[in-house]
Structure 1
Amino acid sequence: MERDRQRHGAAAGAGALAVGVAIVGVGYTGLETYYLARVDPSLRIAVIEQRFAEYGASGRNGGWLTDSITGGRQQHAAHGRGEVGRFQRAMNDTVDEVIRVAAAEGIDADIRKGGEFTVACTPAQEA
């Protein structure tokens, strides 16, 4: 990141920076911009992080990688069964993409693709 700041003439805490693509956060999503740059090297891309790489949600989750939809699929039912299904498939594909990138880049992330088992322990969770 410091190399990019120097290359684009920006310093930490600097003001405006003219770019074509701005990504906020250097978690899983932000790091995927590396591939965006490979597709179109002419793009001026800035990745902006509040503190340091993996400080936010990706780091807090300890690298936990899941295909679950926040709030559950039923929360999105108003969009229709087809849309919810497409959303779930996109989430499934995201897990596969992280695994693919780790393998392609030689990253030993100790990834174990497993499954998910949900249990209810209280009456409120059964609802």
Structure 2
Amino acid sequence: MSEANTSNVLPFKKPDTATLKDKQNETHKTEKKEDAITVHKKSRVTGFAVATLFFALMLVRTFIYSFMLWLRGPIKFLLWITAATMWLAVPMIFFGMQDDPEKTKLLLFSLGIGIGGTMVRKGYDYALELLCPR
């Protein structure tokens, strides 16, 4: 005699595992192919955009370098004149002005302009060296 199922659990049929795995593999393979094609297209577009941006930045850098190189002579000459006259003024102020209350201010000003002009002159060459398209 067969006994009636009195539990509250519903019986489920187990699906055929072989066909289920085949279906999952097929859908997974097509998704992988579509993803690979999409990723390849996106990477080509991204690579092209990066290359174009790099080229544009190099072009701008070359123009800036050329302009700064063209101005190098006059700028360095003006900075040299400014720094050299201030360096020459320091001993004249120190030894020439005996009891002047403005002596300290003039010395600091002359030293500041002399050191600043020398630093800007060297910094300009350093900036050109960094911008140099090699």
With structure 1 as the length reference, what TM-score do the two structures score? Answer: 0.29
Larger RCO, structure (CA 8 Å, separation 6 or more): 2
Bigger Rg, structure 1 or 2: 2
Higher strand share: 1
Higher helix share: 2
With structure 2 as the length reference, what TM-score do the two structures score? Answer: 0.28
